[in-house]
Amino acid sequence: MIHTPIHDEHLALGARMIDFFGFHMPVMYSSIIDEVNCVRQRVGLFDLTHMGRIEVSGPDRLEMVKAAVSKNVKTVPVGAARYGLLLTDEGTVKDDVLIYREEEMVHIVVNCSNRQVDHDHFLAHAKGRDVTVRNVSDEQAMLALQGPASERALEPLVETDLSELGYYRFLRTRISGTDVILSRTGYTGEDGFELFLPPDQGARIWRELLSSGADVGMQPIGLGARDVLRLEAAMPLYGQELTLERNPIEADVTFGVSMKSEFTGKGALVRVKEEGSSIRRVGFVVDARRIPRTGMEIFVGGEQVGWVTSGTMSPTLEKVIGMGYVPVAHSETGARFDIDIKGKRFPAEVVEMPFYKRER
């Protein structure tokens, strides 16, 4: 199994470890609920080195990224990050990514499970263009600080006035003497930062962040809590809400699509838009303490009409929540259906997403 530069820190902290797409990663340190609360109320530290990172440079870089990603990179200001999708020719989702536009380079952060697929996607779009595509996943460590106290925890170590760095903006700076790329992004629905740094400095910066954050109650956070946090924020996860079978209209992620741009999969999306799609991603709450799990079936009357993609007990809302696909006719807020949990039907109701939204 692959070890990130932070691996030994996880072991020393007593984390419970799992195999996550070939990486030996922490699933929890204390408990999932405790870690979710820590991020919602204070600040948590994550090792995200397993995520994939791709750099695109050269004169044709903007043309190439524009063709490869559904969000038009040319409309992204230098110094900003945006959410976008890599699509098949059929308009279905290969991956969801963040693109970071720098003066001379575009950085792309991709899902761990799709490192190779995405690298190939960009290489295919690089043919005949004057660009260099580099998979730099193994040349960087990636950490995240998430939670309302993120800025206070990071401030003492960073050579930048963080109050000047807006949401979905990034810059190059130094943290504790090390050159990093620092962005105000995340996958939890909280304020926070993600940082990209040399792997040989990863463990040292991890320790310094934990000790600097001790004053504001910082804890390390595992992948278990990360999944609950993103679900409370109704953020889709590749492999669950987003797959090669679903398109961005069904998945309700059209904020990641620039319909005026030209990109792989656009023709198919235009057709889906004209013809209309029959199903939609929804968020629902279940009035029971049973958790709907991925793949469980959704019924209206006696008929199976949809399926669950994710579910959990939300510690923040103290409710059982989930997401899934249902026919458009049953996707309005307030619509009701039943979920089959191990042979028993439990009523659920469609609610507005996100389930949780921070106060700004």
Partner 1 sequence: MAVPADLKYTKSHEWVKIEDKVVITGITEFAVKALSDLVYVDLPEIADLTEKGHPYAEIESVKAVADVHAPISGEVDEINEEVVDNLDFLAHDPYGKGWLAKIQISYPDELPSLLSAGEYEKLLTTQE
Residue 153 to residue 23: CA distance in whole angstroms: 28
312 forms part of the interface with partner 1 (CB under 8 A):
yes
32 forms part of the interface with partner 1 (CB under 8 A):
yes
- Ranges of beta strands (E only) in 208-296 are 219-220, 279-286
Least distance in angstroms from the C-beta of 313 to partner 1: 5
Residue 290 to residue 271: CA distance in whole angstroms: 39
- 146 is written with which tokens? 């998430």
Least distance in angstroms from the C-beta of 312 to partner 1: 6
- 159 is written with which tokens? 């050579």
Q: List, edge to edge, every strand of the sheet that includes 52-57.
A: 80-87, 93-101, 105-110, 52-57, 132-135
Least distance in angstroms from the C-beta of 204 to partner 1: 29
Answer for which of 127, 260, 342, 360 binds partner 1 (CB under 8 A) is 342
290 forms part of the interface with partner 1 (CB under 8 A):
yes
Q: Is residue 82 within 8 Å of residue 70, measured between CB atoms?
A: no
- 191 is written with which tokens? 């304020």
Residues 227-266 that bind partner 1 (CB under 8 A): 228
31 forms part of the interface with partner 1 (CB under 8 A):
yes
Q: Which amino acid is at 105?
A: M
Least distance in angstroms from the C-beta of 33 to partner 1: 5
Q: Is residue 70 within 8 Å of residue 261, measured between CB atoms?
A: yes
**Closer Cβ to partner 1, 127 or 289, answer by number:** 289
Scanning 197-346, the segments in alpha helix (DSSP H) are 202-213, 223-232, 266-275
**Closer Cβ to partner 1, 206 or 356, answer by number:** 356
**Closer Cβ to partner 1, 147 or 315, answer by number:** 315
313 forms part of the interface with partner 1 (CB under 8 A):
yes
Least distance in angstroms from the C-beta of 26 to partner 1: 13
Give every CB contact of residue 52 below 8 A, 6+ residues apart in sequence.
109, 110, 111, 112, 114, 115, 118, 119, 135, 137
291 forms part of the interface with partner 1 (CB under 8 A):
yes
Phi, psi for 205 (deg, rounded to 5): -65, -35
Q: Which amino acid is at 11?
A: L
Answer for which of 13, 33, 210, 285 binds partner 1 (CB under 8 A) is 33
* Strand-pair category, 219-220 with 44-47: parallel
**Closer Cβ to partner 1, 151 or 227, answer by number:** 227
24 forms part of the interface with partner 1 (CB under 8 A):
no
Q: How far is CA 270 from CA 63, 325, 327, 328, in A?
A: 21, 21, 20, 18
Which one of the spans 31-39, 101-109, 115-123, 256-264 is the region binding partner 1 (CB under 8 A)?
A: 31-39
Phi, psi for 277 (deg, rounded to 5): -110, 150
Q: CA-based Rg of the chain, rounded to a whole angstrom?
A: 20
Which one of the spans 7-15, 196-204, 290-298, 323-331 is the region binding partner 1 (CB under 8 A)?
A: 290-298
Q: How many chain residues interact with partner 1 (CB under 8 A)? A: 15
Residue 28 to residue 5: CA distance in whole angstroms: 18
- 45 is written with which tokens? 């530290």
Answer for which of 26, 84, 224, 236 binds partner 1 (CB under 8 A) is 224
Least distance in angstroms from the C-beta of 280 to partner 1: 26
**Closer Cβ to partner 1, 97 or 296, answer by number:** 296
**Closer Cβ to partner 1, 210 or 291, answer by number:** 291
293 forms part of the interface with partner 1 (CB under 8 A):
yes
Contacting residues toward partner 1, per CB under 8 A: 27-28, 31-33, 224, 228, 289-291, 293, 312-313, 320, 342
